[in-house]
Amino acid sequence: MIRYLTAGESHGPALVGIIDGMPAGLRVDVARLAEEVASRQLGYGRGARMKIESDEVEFLTGLRGGMTLGSPIALMIRNKDYANVRALMDPLTGEVRRSPGPGRVMRITPAH
């Protein structure tokens, strides 16, 4: 059984994913993956910002030489614009929203 886990907020530092249950010895077509990731920029309703940003998948674990190891695959897509919104979106010091609206996530105030 293959399981997927994703995490990350819009405008946060990165999106991360874990793929568990992949058998060892499968080749990962990184070029094809890059094409799939790039194609999301062309989706319906995408704003101008999507046209100037490009996402790159960074593999952290689970691959060696482009082949699966059989262990969980961890990957990350960094938010290249994060430096511009860090004061508001930092996971530990970012702005706290006390009344969430549609699409907003309530943030927990760090202990001081």
In tens, the pLDDT along 53-102 reads 678 899 999 999 999 999 999 999 988 888 888 878 888 888 766 655 55
Could you tell me the two tokens for 99? 């009344």
Interstrand relation of 58-61 and 63-64 (parallel, antiparallel or unpaired): unpaired
pTM for this prediction: 0.70
In the chain, domain spans: 3-89
CA distances from 98 to 28, 107, 110 (A): 43, 8, 14
pLDDT of residue 104: 52
pLDDT of residue 51: 55
In tens, the pLDDT along 16-56 reads 999 999 999 999 998 998 888 888 766 655 555 555 567 88
Strand, coil or helix: 39: helix
